[in-house]
A and B are shown apart, each in its own frame.
Chain A
Amino acid sequence: MLRYTSRRILQMIPVLLGTTLLIYAMVFAMPGDPVTALFGDKPVNENVADQIRAEYNLDEPFIVQYLLFLKGIFVGDFGITFSGRPVIDIIARVFPTTIKLAFMALIIEMVLGVAVGVMAGIRKGKLFDSTVLMLSLVVIAIPTFVLGFVGQFVFGIELGWFPATARDASIGSLLMPAVVLAGVSLAYVIRLTRTSIVENLSADHVRTAKAKGLSGSRVTTVHVLRNSLIPVVTFLGADLGTLMGGAIVTEYIFAVDGVGSALYDAILRSEGTTVVSIVTLLVVVYIFANLLVDLLYAVLDPRIRYA
């Protein structure tokens, strides 16, 4: 197990390097000169501009800039924005909010998704099952942003059940965004759970469990549920990373001051350092979530042996 874990962590290094390099290259290629942009309408003072460039290493070749950036990351220095704010401040401000939002979405997926999925699976072929299946497809088909602003309008503005925006990032105001964020994944969780339950219900070992004289409820809980939930847990774990990176649209609609909004702003303002730093962190979260899922898998399924 320890060996496996360390091997996995070693494997993460090239992925991390590759991803940051990729994103760095893309940001590097962004049009416009952020330095000249700083001067706004004022005439550009070339001397000052060169000074700024040197300060931000913008006069170095691409690969050197990348390596300097990596070095910074290693010592926890994410650099500073052009307006002079340390990027770490932005990160410290937005990450907690998005983590909160993502976890709320994850809990919704977990509770609602698994419950509905199990009920549908047990009632395979019945009205409830086909309705759920159809509805889940519809949810997948409607773009998140439409769900988002229609939900915001109906529940936030017309009915007034929730705050329409979530700038304060309180649990109550994040509830609506969390539901929207969870939306598509929720549909996937339901379908996955249902398929898994249906498959396991007709498994040979479940029949054998019944043949032993176990009661129906015991067979369901001990032999069907546990087996069915393994792929669901895997999906949920991997989804945490996706939720955090995918929150851009939801945060944009609900004006949540989170990672997505900060990133979107930074992209629009060509704030390379901020974009690269945030994306790097997101990728780290994503990769670690996946590692955790793999390890969890080994705990849940004794057949998996990581030597």
Chain B
Amino acid sequence: MPDTSIPRATRAGQQRYVAPLDETPLQGVDAVSNESDGSSLWKDAFRSLIRQPLFIISGLLILLILVVVAFPWLFTSADPTYCTLDNSLAEPRAGHPLGFNQQGCDIYARVIYGAQASVMVGAFTTLGVVIIGGIIGAVAGFYGGWIDALLSRIMDIFFALPFVLAAIVVLQLVRDSITVWHIIGVLAAFGWTQIARITRGAVISTKNSDFVTASTAVGASPLKNLVRHVLPNAIAPVIVTATVSLGIYIVAEATLSYLGLGLPSTIVSWGADIASAQTLIRTNPEALFFPAAALAVTVLSFIMMGDAVRDALDPKARTR
């Protein structure tokens, strides 16, 4: 036990020191700062997003793509389906800046109009996947027990089937009458497992948090908790994955077209155009290049967007 009665010689550098008060003004204990007025995590995320070049670039590109999808006639007056062999592989000329492909169709017009099919497949497949995977994953994660065991096995079954392969087999069934909806349906039917797994994980990790318990203690039912607390908190990783997958589904659609199981030739599609231009790679690379570039840029925009959103929603950057 220290005995305070013995006086101590203070050593150099250890004399009693008290900082002048004006240097570090004392603030109230745990004072509430009034600097900002209410910003949710989403607002915060958005604020840090708009400072990211990756987000700005991909955002602008996606915006452009959406405009092209909605109003293709703003960008070209040519008809993408008007093809005559007279124009086969013709050079660029006024009104047809990129020239013509082997079938004699305007390459530029086809690139512009091809956006519709790709983006539609990407967007609706993503929607389908989020709905199927989201519900199955949320139910499995939230209820646990045998429901979880059963749904997890079903996820395993669908996950074990190679994605493109399963799509090929199914599309083979409707080979001669494939529509956009078939492709969307098939991709969604075999693609939902990833979202389901992510949703399940996110739900499991939030369902035990204190704020959910507090809500239970207030008297909220489990279902209310799921909808009001658990799902909103689990949604961030789902959004990120969905954005990236949108790009991946566009690639998948192109791959199916390339394998001859894609959209019918009446629909303008980048995948089919790339496939048919393949043989021209030596002589007319532009017929190949432009649809391929359009596809790659579109896909890239979505995965860059997903990447930027992931950074902004990073849980490590969340707490302050």
Contact = CB atoms under 8 A, between A and B. Distances in A.
Interface of A: 11, 14-15, 18-19, 22-23, 26-27, 29-31, 137-138, 140-146, 149-150, 153, 157, 241-242, 245-246, 248-249, 252, 263-264, 267-268, 270, 275, 279, 282-283, 286-287
A246 B164 contact: yes
Looking at chain A's contact residues, the main secondary structure is: helix
15 contacts: A15-B160, A19-B160, A30-B173, A137-B304, A140-B299, A143-B251, A145-B258, A145-B274, A146-B296, A150-B281, A246-B164, A248-B165, A249-B255, A264-B259, A279-B162
Interface of B is mostly: helix
Contacts of A138: 296, 300
Contact of A31 (B161, B162, B173, B274): B173
B300 A245 contact: no
Nearest to B176: A31
Contacts of A246: 162-165
Contact of B258 (A143, A153, A242): A143
Closest 10 CB pairs of A and B: A245-B162, A18-B157, A141-B300, A141-B299, A15-B156, A143-B251, A145-B258, A141-B296, A153-B281, A283-B160
Interface string B161-184: 111111011101101000000000
Interface in B234-270: 247-248, 251, 254-255, 258-259
A14 B150 CA distance: 10
B169 A23 contact: yes
A63 to B, nearest CB: 17
B255 A19 contact: no
A22 B164 CA distance: 15
A19 B281 contact: no
Nearest to B162: A245
B275 to A, nearest CB: 8
A242 B162 contact: yes
A282 B166 CA distance: 12
A277 to B, nearest CB: 13
B302 to A, nearest CB: 9
Contacts of B281: 149-150, 153
Interface string B132-165: 0000000000000000000001101110111111
B123 interface: no
A246 B296 CA distance: 20
A185 to B, nearest CB: 13
B162 A249 contact: no
Contacts of A241: 160
Contacts of A15: 153, 156-157, 160
A267 B292 contact: no
B167 to A, nearest CB: 10
A270 B172 CA distance: 9
Interface of B: 153-154, 156-158, 160-166, 168-170, 172-173, 175, 247-248, 251, 254-255, 258-259, 271, 274-275, 278, 281-282, 292, 295-297, 299-300, 303-304, 307
A137 B168 CA distance: 26
A149 B303 CA distance: 23
Nearest to B291: A146
Query: Which of B162, B258, B303, B304 counts the most A-chain CB atoms under 10 A from its CB?
Result: B162
A26 B170 contact: yes
Contacts of B173: 26, 29-31
Given A19-B157, A146-B274, A146-B295, 4 more contacts: A15-B157, A22-B161, A145-B255, A145-B275
Contacts of B154: 18
Contacts of A242: 162
A268 B175 CA distance: 10
Contacts of B247: 140-141
Given A31-B173, A142-B292, A143-B295, A249 B156 contact: no
A142 B296 contact: yes
B296 A286 contact: no
A141 B162 contact: no
A157 B52 CA distance: 42
Name the residue in A138, A143, A282 with the highest tally of chain B Cβ atoms < 10 Å from its Cβ.
Answer: A143
A275 B296 contact: no
Nearest to A246: B162
Given A15-B160, A23-B169, A137-B303, A143 B254 contact: yes
Contacts of B259: 248-249, 252, 264
B226 to A, nearest CB: 27
Contacts of A30: 169, 172-173
A263 B164 CA distance: 12
B175 A31 contact: yes
Contact of B169 (A26, A143, A146, A150): A26
Given A137-B303, A141-B247, A146-B274, A283 B161 contact: yes
Contacts of A18: 153-154, 156-157
Residue with the greatest number of chain B CB neighbours at <10 A, chosen from A137, A153, A267, A268: A137
A11 B149 CA distance: 10
Contacts of A270: 172
Contacts of A27: 169
Nearest to A260: B165
Contacts of B282: 153, 157
Contacts of B303: 137, 140-141
B168 to A, nearest CB: 6
A150 B303 CA distance: 22
A275 B247 CA distance: 29
A181 to B, nearest CB: 13
B203 to A, nearest CB: 22
A146 B251 CA distance: 10
A81 B47 CA distance: 62
A270 B169 CA distance: 9
